[in-house]
Each structure stands twice: as C-alpha cells, then as structure tokens.
Amino acid sequence: MKPINSPVVVALDYPDARAALALADRIDPSLCRLKVGKELFTREGPSVVRALQERGFEVFLDLKFHDIPNTVASAVHAAADLGVWMVNVHASGGRRMMTAARERLAQGGYSTLLIAVTVLTSSERGDLAEIGLDIEPVEQVRRLAALTADCGLHGVVCSAQEAVMLRQAHPKPFALVTPGIRPAGAAGDDQRRIMTPPMAIEAGVDYLVIGRPVTQSADPVATLKDIIASLPS
Ligand SMILES: O=C(O)c1cc(=O)[nH]c(=O)n1[C@@H]1O[C@H](COP(=O)(O)O)[C@@H](O)[C@H]1O
C-alpha cells in the first residue's frame, strides 16, 4: 500500500456503490482516505468497504454506534473484522460502552482506530438546549473528549473550532478528526461549526472529513486536489 500523503478523508455520501466507486476509481489512494457512512453502508453493506480496500484505500467506517456496551463492542468487533482503518461510536454512550468497545478490539489484537463523536458538527447551542444540555457545544466537547481519552480510545470527532482547546488537553497521538470542513465561500449546508481546510490544519487537526464540497463538485477530483494543495505543509 502506498503511503497516504494527506490528512483528507473524503466522505463517500453517495446513494449506491456504483456512484461511490466511480469517484474512487478516479482517485489515487495516496491522495486521501475514504469514509463509508450510514447511507452507503445501509444500501450496499460490507461489499462496498471491500471494493474500496481492494482499490488500495484505507476506509473509515462511520456508523456512529450508540447502544448498550455489549452491542457496541460486538459491532465494533465486526467492523474491525472488515479490516477498516477507523470506526466510531458516540461518546455520549458513556464510559462502560466505550471501554467495552476498546477492550474488545484489544482482545482481538486489531489495529483499527476507535474514535468517539463528541458533539455533532451540525449542532449549535440551541440544539443542545433542546436535549437538556444548557451549555455551549465547546463545553460538552471538552467533557466528552476527556471521557473518551480516559476510556483509552484513539481520538475524537469534533469540530475544528474546538481543536486548539482539545490539543492543549490531549497531546498527540490522540486523534482529532473534524468534519464540518468548508473551503472559503462554500455552502455550509446543515453544518454549523465549520472551518476552512488550511485553518483546521493550523488549529492542530489530524484528519479533515470532507463530503459535499468534493462529492457535489462539478469536478470532484480537481476540487479534492485544490483542497490538498491549499493545506500548509
Ligand atoms: O462522524 C462523522 O463523520 C461526522 C460527525 C460529525 O459530527 N459531523 C459530520 O458531519 N460527520 C460526517 O462527516 C460528513 C460531513 O459531510 P459534509 O458536510 O458533506 O462535508 C458526513 O458524512 C457526516 O455524516
């Protein structure tokens, strides 16, 4: 496998494998990693993950598991059996859930990275208030990242706006994985806590998850290359 030369993870949020593989077939696997999320996985199942791996890509399986500890540990185990590079759970599932998942991976000797979503990048203060959390997103991100680190996971999903604060509290190799990335002038869509690709890297982010700015572009490959070229080295 060739070394991967960028921190970019392209979210393959396509309706089916045909569309997802059409983009994958136009990208060199050294350019980026690929994320398979709920829509594509529900439609196509593990076969689309294998098809991407056969093309030389490292895959982030983004199913954001959130359930009782045994169920999540078993689901994470199944993801690791697929040989994915990274898998995620919701940190709000709590300590016992995250610990059970981490222990299951350790028992199997898997190298899959296990990370936890703190506060979705589409959420802002008002969204948290409606679910009973009358605090700023950054405060909840701080709490859940501390819990995640204490449970021994490899990192968190957060917004790049929280990266400087989290990097101070959690030195590398604790991974900061940030969706809500938008090149200057791009539509925010349903995202709320956003940042541009170069600013996110300057803030200390490890991996930039980018979907629609690439997948909905008239020329996804050129847009991806432009984003990578815009990053500080
Ligand atoms: O875990 C994720 O990947 C994730 C967490 C989060 O807080 N926000 C978030 O947008 N995501 C995912 O990251 C991708 C972002 O896509 P775009 O908004 O199109 O760039 C989507 O596939 C989301 O499911």
Q: Which domains does the chain have, with CATH numbers?
A: 8-229 (3.20.20.70)
61, β-bridge pairs: 36, 87
Question: Binding site annotation covers 67?
Answer: yes
- Per-run averaged pLDDT (10 residues), the chain, 233 residues: 88 98 98 98 98 98 98 98 98 99 98 98 98 97 98 98 98 98 96 98 98 98 98 93
How far is residue 9 from each of residues 30, 63, 151, measured CA to CA in Å?
11, 15, 25
pTM for this entry = 0.98
Q: Is the ipTM of this complex over 0.95?
A: yes
Q: Any known ligand binding at 105? A: no
Q: What is the pLDDT of residue 1?
A: 64
Could you tell me which of 112, 198, 100, 122 has the C-alpha nearest to residue 155? 112
What is the number of the ligand 1 atom nearest to the C-alpha of 216? 19
38 is in an annotated binding site: no
Residue 2 catalytic? no
Is 189 among the catalytic positions?
A: no
Ligand 1: centre distance to CA 158 (Å): 10
**94 C-alpha to center of ligand 1: Å?**
21
Residues 193 and 11: their CA atoms lie apart, in Å, by: 17
Q: Give the position, in ligand 1's atom list, of the atom nearest the Cα of 189.
A: 18
Q: Is 62 a catalytic site residue?
A: yes
Question: Does 66 appear as a known binding residue?
Answer: yes
Cα(187) to centroid(ligand 1), Å: 14
Q: Which of 28, 67, 81, 134 is catalytic?
A: 67
How far is ligand 1, taken at its centre, from the CA of residue 191, in Å? Answer: 8
Supply the pLDDT for residue 3: 86
